[in-house]
Amino acid sequence: MARPNVLFLVHGVGEHRGGWSQLPKTTLREAAASYECFPSTPDPLEQEIEFIEIRYDDIFDLVLERFQNLTNQFKRVDPGLIPAQLQGILDTLNDLDGVGARYAGDVLLYRLKLVSTTVLLRVMKRITETVARIGLVDAGQPVKYGILGHSLGTTVVHDALHLLATQPVISSEAMLAELRTVLPELADDYVQDFGANPFSAGNFQFEAIYMVSNTSRLLHTTDKGPYESLVRPYRSVASPGACASFYNIDHRWDPVSKVKPFRLADAWGGDTSDATQIDVEHVYQVNIHALDHYLMNPKVHAAIFGHLAGSFDPDDWDEAEERVTSGTFKRWGPDFDLEAKKQELRNKLQAKVDAALGDSRIEKLRELLAQVKAL
């Protein structure tokens, strides 16, 4: 049996400790358990998908800590000696506390070249080490790789993959040897055409890229933006790309992706074959921006299973779509469904009535009233 395919998970803004991906992984496993094609086991995806967590928020933590130390040092300086522009930055840093510091701070920090470079090197290293460890073929079958970025993570994914596809960041003869095994008809000439970088857009392709609440147009740090970069589906030698399929996933009411939205219709000169826009509007929790909230939607997790889970065939994909269109997967979760709330209240009131009618004291009162009427 061939090994599972691989899905890299890249988080967004906010605090993400080691193990942060447990919730989205649990959401995907629970979703898989609802399809008959997967085994009835505690982890129905165990033989299907290996999840690789990528974390970079500790880099932000370190930088924020140093910024705070600098701020404290400046507090001991005569305010009149601090330039007005610098004082404004320090005041802003002082105002960024708690959640605000994590969200706004992460975005601002990523725009600093030193910070973004450190983040991207971390992400690229995690990807390249994983591919080198697992390889491209197992038991005669190709190993498929997918990558999912969420929120700020979509920008990180975009920037990292564009750099991987264009910069010779690593050189591995073992990787090149595997490429020759996978593409024997092109062999050395194929590698020669695209240079020595085994992750160039002609040598390596992700099976699918998933951009969830895409911020890459607003925050990218690469020389080319997401409409011009190589983070797109591969078309030909003359029009290379980093993936076979591309998904842009957005929620109707998610404000994060709306500041400068990524629109497939405007991307890559209008050639959006092998690229899919998935729009959702379900509401099951207040934080509709959360990654796990996106993943519970059948249209979203079907796109992942359809590419990376071998047991999930086109009929299962159709079933997932049908769950949304038929209303089996409801638009409003139990906590937000007004009709469900009304029915819940009716049930509670009826239960109280039934309990009251069965109360012996009520029966005694009835007997007393009957006796009074008989007088």
> What does the pLDDT read at residue 334?
85
> What does the pLDDT read at residue 190?
40
The letter for the amino acid at 141 is Q
What lies within 8 Å, CB to CB, of 249 at 6+ separation is 210, 211, 212, 213, 214, 278, 280, 294, 300, 303
For tokens 């399929």, what's the residue? Answer: 245
* Cβ neighbourhood burial of 39 (10 Å; 0-12, 13-18, 19+): middle
Q: Can you give the residue ranges of every domain in the chain?
A: 5-325, 338-374
Mean pLDDT computed over 263-289: 90
Q: Which of 168, 169, 155 is nearest to 226 (CA)?
A: 155
Decide: 332 and 283 in contact? Cβ < 8 Å.
yes
* Cβ neighbourhood burial of 314 (10 Å; 0-12, 13-18, 19+): exposed
Decide: 336 and 180 in contact? Cβ < 8 Å.
no
* Cβ neighbourhood burial of 81 (10 Å; 0-12, 13-18, 19+): exposed
pLDDT in tens, 16-28: 899 999 999 999 9
Decide: 182 and 142 in contact? Cβ < 8 Å.
yes
Lowest mean pLDDT among 47-51, 133-137, 165-169: 165-169
pLDDT in tens, 72-113: 554 555 555 555 655 555 565 555 555 555 566 678 788 888
Question: Virtual CA dihedral for 316, 318, 320, 325, nearest 10 degrees?
Answer: -160
User: How far is Cα 339 from Cα 228, in angstroms, rounded to an integer?
Assistant: 47
Mean pLDDT computed over 37-57: 94
Lowest mean pLDDT among 94-103, 154-163, 185-194, 285-294: 185-194
- HSE-up of residue 103 (Cα within 13 Å, Cβ side): 6
pLDDT in tens, 226-246: 999 999 998 887 788 999 999
User: How far is Cα 97 from Cα 104, in angstroms, rounded to an integer?
Assistant: 10
Neighbours of 331 (CB within 10 A): 14
Decide: 198 and 211 in contact? Cβ < 8 Å.
no
pTM: 0.80
Decide: 37 and 317 in contact? Cβ < 8 Å.
no
- HSE-up of residue 116 (Cα within 13 Å, Cβ side): 20
